[in-house]
Amino acid sequence: ATTDTGAPTIFDKIIAKEIPSTIVYEDDKVLAFRDINPEAPVHVLVIPKFRDGLTQLGKAEARHWDILGELLYAAKIVAEKEGILDGFRVVINSGPAACQSVYHLHLHLLGGRQMKWPPG
């Protein structure tokens, strides 16, 4: 498992467009792009453009309230654009025990197939 060192991550390079990604939604605060290793027909990562200490949900502070709402609402917009509003899943892995690998808060939007519950 990767640990949270607070160092910049690959997502900064994706935001800066130094590394290519397939962007599906972008506004001034939020970027959404396809996961490079998709676990479902639709697998999009929704991230804040300014990490502002938000390496993981477990580090959220009151100042992050607005961006947390923006991310969740952006997930709904992307779900609509991707045609999966009938059923989709949003996942946030926070910390090593949850298998977080990139320490720039991101929400996984998954859909396009029947999902199982509970997750592993």
Residues near ligand 5GP (CB under 6 A) are 10, 19, 21, 33-37, 45, 93, 99-102
Q: What is the DSSP letter of 15?
A: H
The verdict on whether omega for the bond into residue 20 sits within 30 degrees of 0, i.e. cis, is no
Q: Which is nearer to ligand 5GP, 1 or 62 (CB)?
A: 1
Q: Which is nearer to ligand 5GP, 36 or 72 (CB)?
A: 36
Q: What is the DSSP letter of 21?
A: -
Q: Which is nearer to ligand 5GP, 84 or 100 (CB)?
A: 100
Residue with tokens 């592993």: 120
User: Dihedrals φ, ψ of 26, to 5°?
Assistant: -150, 135
CA distance 111 to 88: 5
Could you list the active site residues? 106
Residue type, 74: A
